[in-house]
Amino acid sequence: MVDLRTEFAGLKLKNPIIISSSGLTSSADKNEKLEMAGAGAIVLKSLFEEQIMLKAQQTNEAAYYPEGGNFLTEHLNAQDLAEYLKLIQESKKRCSIPIIASINCCTNKEWVEFARKIEFAGADAIELNILSIQASPYYECGEFEKRHIDILNSVKSKIHIPIIIKLGIHLTNPVSLVSKLRASGAEGIVMFNRLYQTDIDIKKLEFISGEVLSSASDLTPSLRWIGISSATVGNIDYAASGGVHSAEGAIKSILVGASAAEICSVIYKNGNQCIHPMLQYIECWMRGKGYENISQFKGLLKAKDVNCTNMYERTQFLRYFSERE
C-alpha cells in the first residue's frame, strides 16, 4: 500500500501537494474546495506589509493633525488584520488540512505585532515571504540576508507555531542563509519565490507586465538549490515552489530533498481537478519503483559531494555549450 503522507515544518500532511499563496486561497470556500480536490495543505493569500504601510502613509498625508492620522492608521491596520484573521478562522472551520498564514514582507517593523494574533486565530504555521530587490549603489553585501534573520527573530519572539521562510532567488549563497535561518529557529524553507516579471512594449515605449504564471522550466533553480541545501543543512524541511506543473515536478522535488511541493500556476491553468491526477501519478510511480512511502526516495538525488558542486556545474556548462555548433 503506497503512503503519500509527509511532514513539512512540523506539520503532518496527507500528501506532499501544498497550494501556494495566491488568489486561489483567498476565501474559506475556495480552500474547502481545494482540500476536496486533494490538497495536502494550503498557504493563505498573503497579507502584504506594503498594503498596510501604504494605507497608513496615505492616511497620515491626508490627515490635518497627527492624532487624527494615527487614529485612522490604527483603524486601517485593524481592519486589514480583522479580515485576514477571519479568513484563517473560517478556513480552519471548513478544512481539516494544515492552514498556513502568509505574510509578504521586507522589514521587521509594525506588522510583526500581527503575528501573535494570527497564531491565536488558529493558523498552523506562518510562511514569511521575504521579497525585495536590492538595487541601491550604497547596499552593503549581506544586508539583505541579515534582514531575513532579523525578521525571523522578531516574529519568533512573538509566536510558537512553526515559521516557514520563502526565499527569493537572488541570493549569492542560499545554503549559508538557510543554515543561519535554521540556527535562528526556522522550521521550513521554500525555494523559490517568483518575482514580478517585467517586459517592454516597444510600440508604446513603456514597461508592461511579463508572463504572470510560471512554466515547468522555472523549477530548475529549486531543484539545484534544494539538492545542495538538503545535503548540507539538515534538521530543516524544504519545499519546492515555482515550476511544479506536474506530478513529475513534485517527484523531482522530493528526489532532491524536498518534503513537499507548492503549486499555483498549474491550478490557474487547469483548475482544481488537476490535483487528483497528480497524486494518482505519484502513487503509480512509487508503486512501480517499489516505494511504500515518501521517505524511501526523499533526497535520493541530493548533492553527493557538495564541495565539488561548483566544478560539476562549470564542467557541465562547458560540455553542453562546447558540443553545440
- Residues of the chain with pLDDT > 90, as a percent, come to 66
Task: Report the CATH number that the domain containing residue 144 is assigned in CATH.
Answer: 3.20.20.70
CB 100 within 8 A of CB 127: yes
Least confident span in 72-86, 188-202, 213-227: 72-86
Is residue 11, in this structure, part of any structural domain at all? yes
Q: Residue 55: pLDDT above 60?
A: no
Does residue 1 sit within a domain? no
Q: Would 69 be classed as within a structural domain? A: yes
Domain count along the chain: 1
Digit-coded pLDDT (tens) for 244-253: 999 999 999 9
Strands 17-19 and 41-43, bridge-based pairing: parallel
Please count the CA atoms within 13 angstroms of the CA of 86 that sit on its side-chain side: 8
Helix (H, G, I), strand (E, B) or coil at 192: coil
pLDDT in tens, 155-169: 999 999 999 999 998
Quote the CA–CA distance of 277 and 246 in Å, as a whole number: 9
Among left, alpha and beta (phi > 0; psi -120 to 50; other), residue 105 is beta
Average pLDDT of the chain, as a whole number: 87
Is 21 part of any domain?
yes
pLDDT surpassing 90 at residue 320:
no
Is 318 within the bounds of a domain?
yes
* CA-to-CA separations, 220 to 95, 106, 147, in angstroms, rounded: 32, 25, 26
Least confident piece of the model among 191-200, 244-253, 305-314: 305-314
Whether 121 has a pLDDT exceeding 50, the answer reads yes
**pLDDT in the model for residue 325:** 58
Residue 126 in domain: yes
Cell of 183: 540556527
pTM of the model: 0.89
Could you tell me the residue range of the domain that residue 241 belongs to? 6-322
* Tens-digit pLDDT profile for residues 294-309: 999 999 999 887 776 7
pLDDT at position 153 over 50:
yes
Stretch 258-283: mean pLDDT: 97
Point out the least confidently predicted range of 195-199, 237-241, 270-274. Answer: 195-199
